Structure 1
Amino acid sequence: MKLWQKENTSVSELVERFTVGRDKEFDLLLAKHDVAGSIAHVTMLGEVGLMTKEEANTAVAALQEILQEIQDSQFTIHEGVEDVHSQVEFLLTQRIGDTGKKIHSGRSRNDQVAVDIKLFLREQVLLMRDEVANLFDLLQSKSEQFKDKLIPGYTHLQIAMPSSAGMWLGAYAESLVDDTELLAAAYAIANKNPLGSGAGYGSSFPLNRTRTTKLLQFGALNYNSVYAQMTRGKTEKIVAMAMSSVAATVGRFAMDCCLYLNQNFGFLSFPSELTTGSSIMPHKKNPDVFELIRAKCNRIQALPNELAMMLTNLPSGYHRDLQLTKEILFPAIEELKSCLQLSVLMLSHMEVKDDILKEEKYRYLFSVEAVNELVNQGQSFRDAYRQVGNDIEAGAFNYDFSKGLHHTHEGSIGNLCTQEIKDLMDKVLAKF
């Protein structure tokens, strides 16, 4: 059954398989949103006189039953039914008769899909926000816990200056603040109502789009009907860009953990049950979780480009190309959430080794401290730099690094500004 099919016409089975693709699989994710959109639309139709009050009430009650079946995992798209929209209308007509055939007045599958995707992405962005916030809170907690455990800092993968495990973890917490800014922007884009734009050119029916916007709790309308359809693909790409930013942070953190667990670094440890072994090397404790997080996050970072290539050169109006955005984006959303959840699990059980910088190989980390000490004694920075550099080249560098460190400015080892970073995150979260 197809909403667009006329009598005495048929479609090639090969063409049908090709055009439907994996749509039914992803339509099940949209089902509750499709019914929510229909409830809002039918309520509005009853209010503007395109359905009687009694017809609208009957249809809404039946739609709510269908919604409950979806929430109870009792909803399927039957064989021979093209998509979720057709299935819902079929069930509705089956239950309440010809009244069910009226719910499509002033609506196209184009704006049905658009509203379904907006509602779905709005919900998913909030779920991703919550997972990011969980990881942020844990990073901050661990940052405070390990703020006095010194580790090497690196540039060019060469030892550079002293850092701390707290400073390292706090950096990723603050990175998530900026990533959440992009999630908030994606939420704002998804939180606009395209319902009532029809096939992209509005309707001669006296629809009340402001009413459906309120019923669906959208923040605003996509006013222009042409643009409402142009948000298909664009909304998905913007969400993907926000996801890519989160993935970049999480993937980079995973890479650090792979390095720091390595015996040549040896800064971190994790319980055996969170690492994997080797089939022939009994000593191995492999960071498979972090390696998969890294790989999945790299793949997620490619999403915006993949979606951009799909949208490139599309003129205004609806095109079937847009169907494919679901199979690109929807699985990636689940992958990002799982990467965030597993990062929380691993970080919850992470331990940091004591006295790392007491090893002889890290003595040159303190060369800048030696330079700064001479500057504090009155030398110019350039002269002090040259003196310490010459000592290092001559093998005469003997700075006493047991003196401790005295870094006090904002964002340094001794002043991580954890609360200030939390305040920034709270401001961003308030935008949702």
Structure 2
Amino acid sequence: MLWSKGLPLDAAIHRFTVGDDPQVDLALAPHDALGSAAHARMLARVGLLPEADMRALVAALRTLHDEARAGKFTIRPEQEDGHTALEAALVERVGDPGRRIHLARSRNDQVQLALRLMLREQVLQLGAGAAELAGAFLDFAQAHANVPLPGYTHMRRAMPSTFGMWGAAFAEGLIEELEALRGLWARIDRCPLGAAAGFGVPLPIDREYVATLLGFSRVQRSPIDVQNSRGRYEAATLAWANSVAGGLEKWLWDVSLFSTEEFGFLSLPDAFTTGSSIMPQKKNPDVVELARARCRELRGIARQVEEIAGGLPSSYHRDFQLLKRPTLTGLATIRELLDVLTRLVPVLKIRAEAAARACDDTLYAAHQAYVLVGRGMPFRDAYRQVAREISDGTFHPDRTALTATHLGGAGNLALDQTRSELNAARSWLTETHRALAACAERVWQP
């Protein structure tokens, strides 16, 4: 191992301290290669690395980056982690220059940079997934804007609604999450490299140059805060994912209920159901139920990251090693959830007749009270009169007398406005992705 001090090594202790880093760090390897290339360019710029060595390192790191993206980069158990494997590969390919790459940095800020680059990429990908799902909900709302659907409170019929109102609600919720994503991005968008082990290095490094090279808007100035932030950005990203999942869990519950035989408002395509091993008639909503469970699973993963990172004094601690696996698991979970639901929403089948039959006269009780108010009756008197009519069986409302035409009501969903907001979020995601890709190309240029 590159990091060995030459002392005897107990195999059990080695396994315990290494953990699953050789597997987990494969996800960080391409980001580690990119960050290392930027570091090499900075070292050459300040005179700490010969220009020829820098160019050899950057060329080798690009090859290693591409291999890692293609799943061809390996980390041997005895190498302990991805950083060791990357340096060993550089030494093997370019010789002595590979031994210079670690100058002016620690594994602590090296892994922080790789994680930060990975989180930036993941945040943009998750944003794109959320935008696609929001678009699917908007299309659903547009297609079924005026199809009646009972509105429920306390799981009891309450007021008239439509499938359009229902779909628009989840589109708007996701657009709000996309707005929150930009706040998350602002937190992540700071470069930690140069903090080393948490106290900087006594060398004339140029932290601002590395940040600019990699497309960060700022440097995370305090080296101690760089170490204190280990887990902070992972937790913030998973908190965003958890918030997204919280909204989607409500939709999944609705779909599960509305597609039962007792409700019958929706039906799931066969591709999203499974059969029973004993009951031939069953079409179980396993995809919906598993997706709902994924939402709750995300809450547990987010809590796990908070627990590992919390309760520690400042600076670096080896506890942080255990943050990587749950973070990657949580990111994969929300990514898969967004993808599956984006496939489900467009093929969800509406059973309009069943939903219309459930829209009985009692849904219009509040509407009828407002009709009476319009004729001059005080609201409380109107409320009591409608209640009496419902009780004695004489309630026959005028269903067409009033419609909610205010912004967001059944008669004014404002879907064009919602779509405009979604397009703005998509534009930001596209522009940000393009800017980072351009930065990466500048790092890789010969």
Q: Helix, strand or coil: the match of 2:149?
A: strand
Supply the AA of the counterpart residue of 2:165: M
1:207 aligns to what?
205
Describe how 1:156-305 pairs up with structure 2 within 5 A: 156-305=154-303
Deviation at 1:426, TM superposition (A): 4.1
Residues 1:408 and 2:417 aligned together: no
RMSD value over aligned CA atoms?
1.6
Instruction: Extract unaligned runs of 5+ from structure 2.
Output: 433-446
Structure 1 stretch 290-299 or stretch 187-196: which is displaced more? 187-196
- Contact persistence 1:241–1:303 (CA under 8 A): no
Structure 1 stretch 362-371 or stretch 422-431: which is displaced more? 422-431
Q: Helix, strand or coil: the match of 1:302?
A: helix
Structure 1 stretch 156-165 or stretch 184-193: which is displaced more? 184-193
Deviation at 1:68, TM superposition (A): 2.5
- Contact persistence 2:22–2:80 (CA under 8 A): yes
Q: Helix, strand or coil: the match of 1:18?
A: helix
Describe how 1:233-382 pairs up with structure 2 within 5 A: 233-356=231-354, 358-359=356-357, 362-382=360-380
2-structure distance, mates of 1:310, 1:144: 45
Q: Helix, strand or coil: the match of 1:221?
A: coil
Supply the AA of the counterpart residue of 1:175: G
Structure 1 stretch 18-27 or stretch 281-290: which is displaced more? 281-290
Instruction: String of CA shifts for 1:345-379, please: whole Å, max 9, x gaps.
Output: 11110121223454377321111121111112221
- Contact persistence 1:149–1:352 (CA under 8 A): no
- Contact persistence 1:244–1:302 (CA under 8 A): no
- Contact persistence 2:264–2:355 (CA under 8 A): no
Q: Helix, strand or coil: the match of 1:220?
A: coil
Supply the AA of the counterpart residue of 2:231: G
Deviation at 1:265, TM superposition (A): 1.1
Describe how 1:28-47 pairs up with structure 2 within 5 A: 28-47=26-45
1-structure distance, mates of 2:384, 2:261: 34
| 1:261–1:360 CA distance, 2 compared to 1 (3 A) | closer
Residues 1:4 and 2:3 aligned together: yes
Q: Helix, strand or coil: the match of 2:80?
A: coil
Supply the AA of the counterpart residue of 2:320: L
1-structure distance, mates of 2:28, 2:286: 33
Deviation at 1:279, TM superposition (A): 2.2
- Contact persistence 1:257–1:268 (CA under 8 A): yes
Give identity over the alignment, percent.
37
Q: Helix, strand or coil: the match of 2:27?
A: helix
Q: Helix, strand or coil: the match of 2:360?
A: helix
Deviation at 1:404, TM superposition (A): 6.9
Deviation at 1:201, TM superposition (A): 0.4
Q: Helix, strand or coil: the match of 2:161?
A: strand
2-structure distance, mates of 1:406, 1:183: 35
Q: Helix, strand or coil: the match of 1:188?
A: helix
2-structure distance, mates of 1:358, 1:66: 60
Instruction: String of CA shifts for 1:70-124, please: whole Å, max 9, x gaps.
Output: 2332210124111111111111111222221111110000001000000001101
Deviation at 1:428, TM superposition (A): 4.5
Deviation at 1:215, TM superposition (A): 1.4
Deviation at 1:427, TM superposition (A): 4.5
Deviation at 1:303, TM superposition (A): 3.2
Structure 1 stretch 345-354 or stretch 33-42: which is displaced more? 345-354
Supply the AA of the counterpart residue of 2:75: I
1:26 aligns to what?
24
2-structure distance, mates of 1:355, 1:375: 32
2-structure distance, mates of 1:81, 1:387: 80
Q: Helix, strand or coil: the match of 1:379?
A: coil
Deviation at 1:312, TM superposition (A): 2.2
Residues 1:422 and 2:419 aligned together: yes
- Contact persistence 2:22–2:81 (CA under 8 A): yes
Structure 1 stretch 105-114 or stretch 348-357: which is displaced more? 348-357
| TM-score of the two chains, using structure 1 as the length reference | 0.95
Q: Helix, strand or coil: the match of 2:79?
A: coil
Describe how 1:57-136 pairs up with structure 2 within 5 A: 57-136=55-134
- Contact persistence 1:176–1:246 (CA under 8 A): yes
| 1:360–1:127 CA distance, 2 compared to 1 (3 A) | closer
1-structure distance, mates of 2:67, 2:338: 30
Q: Helix, strand or coil: the match of 1:5?
A: coil
Supply the AA of the counterpart residue of 1:423: S
- Contact persistence 2:120–2:189 (CA under 8 A): yes
Q: Helix, strand or coil: the match of 1:282?
A: coil
- Contact persistence 1:106–1:198 (CA under 8 A): yes
Instruction: Extract unaligned runs of 5+ from structure 1.
Output: none
1-structure distance, mates of 2:213, 2:282: 57
Describe how 1:145-160 pairs up with structure 2 within 5 A: 145-160=143-158
Q: Helix, strand or coil: the match of 1:329?
A: helix
1-structure distance, mates of 2:235, 2:242: 10
2-structure distance, mates of 1:33, 1:254: 35
Supply the AA of the counterpart residue of 1:68: D
1-structure distance, mates of 2:165, 2:356: 18
Supply the AA of the counterpart residue of 1:419: D
Instruction: String of CA shifts for 1:179-229, please: whole Å, max 9, x gaps.
Output: 223322222222211011100100011111111111111121111111112
- Contact persistence 1:32–1:71 (CA under 8 A): yes
| 1:355–1:231 CA distance, 2 compared to 1 (3 A) | same
Deviation at 1:311, TM superposition (A): 2.2
Structure 1 stretch 252-261 or stretch 276-285: which is displaced more? 276-285
- Contact persistence 2:131–2:425 (CA under 8 A): no
- Contact persistence 1:149–1:355 (CA under 8 A): no
2:12 aligns to what?
14
- Contact persistence 2:130–2:178 (CA under 8 A): yes
